[in-house]
Amino acid sequence: MHKEAAIREPLILGDKTYHDITADVVGPIENKAPRAWYILITIAGLISLWGLGCIVYLIATGIGVWGLNKTVGWAWDITNFVWWVGIGHAGTLISAVLLLFRQKWRMAINRSAEAMTIFAVMMAALFPGIHMGRIWLAYFVFPLPNTFGSLWVNFNSPLLWDVFAISTYFSVSLVFWYIGLIPDFATIRDRMTKPLAKKIYGLLSFGWSGKAKNWTRFEEVSLVLAGLATPLVFSVHSIVSMDFATSVIPGWHTTIFPPYFVSGAVFSGFAMVLTLLLIMRKVMKLENYITIKHVEYMNIVIIVTGSIVGVAYITELFISWYSGVEYESYAFINRFSGPYFWAYWAMMTCNVVSPQLFWFKKIRTNLTATFILSIVVNIGMWFERFVIIVTSLHRDYVPSSWSMFYPTWVDIGIFIGTIGIFFTLFLLFARFFPVLALNELKSILRVSGEKYKKEDH
């Protein structure tokens, strides 16, 4: 008996035409921004000013104002650095990997995810900079020949690998994001009436004319960049994990770190994309483009990566026992039953237990539940970094030097400030740049628009 295949749900809802897509995406840029946007940017702006104030105070006074001590020499700053780099992972993954796999559902979310990557990597780069103490000597990390006489950077240091990984990742992501924007800038340029705005978007669009030749080159370059960016997704967080794995501290010195950090990064990155998209979908009225189906696909990625992270936690515990090294096993016993036990169990609950709720379709397709869980996941991922860094350090080999780490108001102020700066940048992006890849969306309208699906069936 012949049974017809179930039709896939459309990715663009409403009876949209090509013109509607342009009007909906360019609308917020041409017209006055919605009221909610002004409220959100005021809040984010005030938080970022507070954060900048804390950074200036820190640089003026010295990093003694952080809660660091002799035993815990790394704490919130590196925790926040790894957390931000992780969040920056989803953008390139959504764009590059899904482009190579020809996944159409990436079209509605890739632009915001790429912008998020760039702003998150900027926030991450801030922390090693201020951790140096003398930020005006930050250029010492670059291998500039003949500048320091015979003094060269130490290529054996994992922190130097970080500098190369992050700068490469940032530059490739930036080029990838900008090239995708060029056709959309041209569309905005042609619709603008104010001469100054027309001139600015004209410069940004590099004289794009939309000829077949332009499109062919655009697609070729996108594929080449996606091919370059895909290994970067894996290499960047592997290198960040080697900051820890190449040391000999129990709890850090493990070979599982690179894959475990990469899956954790994708996990937290997707959660942050969801947090941002659900807010933007409401503020910018993009419900027809960022649909329940998109949210569901992303939640499925969260289940997979969350489960990988869970397996990694259990593997760590097992190996610490199986190794027979008492220092190693003590590091893990101390994690779940020592003075920081609450951070360990918060991490376990948020990262391993909460994503499993997405197995239920009702929860997976519920926007409120998704929004809450996406924030829970990011809190959990922050705790994971905190647990790895602080609980492995605060009780070392010599009990007489054991100590506790307590964050000061400067620690907390800088962290909350970076969240404010991140949201300010993202809101500015959403106001002046097209938040959806409108020309790419048009390319899938014929095969995945609700109107055409009805006609075919």
DSSP string, 416-437: HHHHHHHHHHHHHHHHHS-SS-
Residue 149: pLDDT over 80: no
Neighbours of 282 (CB within 10 A): 15
pLDDT band at 99 (very low <50, low <70, confident <90, very high): confident
Q: Is the pLDDT of residue 452 over 70?
A: no
- Classify the C-alpha dihedral 21-289-85-371 as positive or negative: positive
Residue 20: the pLDDT is 72
> Band of the pLDDT at 161, cuts 50, 70, 90?
confident
Q: Collapse the DSSP code of 449 into the 3-class scheme (helix H, G, I; strand E, B; otherwise coil) and give the result.
A: strand
- ∠ CA 308-310-316 to the nearest 5 degrees? 105
- Report domain 27-135+155-450's class: mainly alpha
| 57-66, 206-215, 410-419, 424-433: range with lowest mean pLDDT | 206-215
pLDDT tier for residue 453 given thresholds of 50, 70 and 90: low
Q: Specify the pLDDT at position 62.
A: 80
The pLDDT value given to residue 449: 61
CB 16 within 8 A of CB 453: no
Predicted confidence band at 392 (pLDDT cuts at 50, 70, 90)?
A: confident
DSSP 142-172: S--TTTSTT----TT-HHHHHHHHHHHHHHH
Q: How far apart are CA 48 and CA 46, in angstroms?
A: 5
Region 201-226: mean pLDDT is 81
Averaged pLDDT, 278-295: 78
Q: Residue 381 and residue 263: Cα distance in Å, rounded?
A: 11
103 compared with 40, residue with greater pLDDT? 40
Query: 35-69: string of b/e by CB count within 10 Å (b at 16+)?
Result: eebeebbeebbebbeebbebbeebbeeeeeebbbe
Among the listed residues 89, 156, 163, 181, the one whose alpha carbon sits nearest the alpha carbon of residue 127: 163
Phi, psi of 420 (to 5 degrees): -65, -45
Q: Which residues pair with 127 in a beta bridge?
A: none
- For the stretch 225-240, pLDDT in tens is 888 888 888 888 888 8
DSSP secondary structure string, 293-360? HHHHHHHHHHHHHHHHHHHHHHHHHHHHHHT--HHHHHHHHHHHHSTTHHHHHHHHIIIIIGGGGGGS
CB–CB of 69/399 below 8 Å?
no
For 341-365, the pLDDT digits (tens) are 888 888 888 888 888 888 888 888 8
* H/E stretch holding 230: helix 212-245
- The DSSP string of 356-419 is GGGGSHHHHT-HHHHHHHHHHHHHHHHHHHHHHHHHHHSS-S-GGG-------HHHHHHHHHHH
Report whether pLDDT(5) > 60.
no
What are the residues facing 449 on neighbouring strands?
12
Question: What is the SS3 assignment for 54?
Answer: helix
* pLDDT attached to residue 186: 81
* pLDDT in the model for residue 454: 58
Which among 84, 57, 71 is positioned nearest to 408, based on CA atoms?
Answer: 57
pLDDT at 3 over 60: no
Nearest Cα neighbor of 90 from 111, 59, 62 is: 111
Q: What is the pLDDT of residue 49?
A: 92
Question: What average pLDDT does the chain have?
Answer: 81
Region 129-152: mean pLDDT is: 74
Give residue 46's pLDDT. Answer: 92
Q: How far apart are CA 164 and CA 207, in angstroms?
A: 33
| pLDDT above 80 for 34 | no
CA distance 339 to 335: 8
Question: For residues 36 and 28, what is the distance between their CA atoms, to the nearest angstrom?
Answer: 12
User: Tell me, what's the pLDDT at 448?
Assistant: 64
What is the residue extent of each domain of the chain? 27-135+155-450
Distance CA 67, CA 53 (A): 18
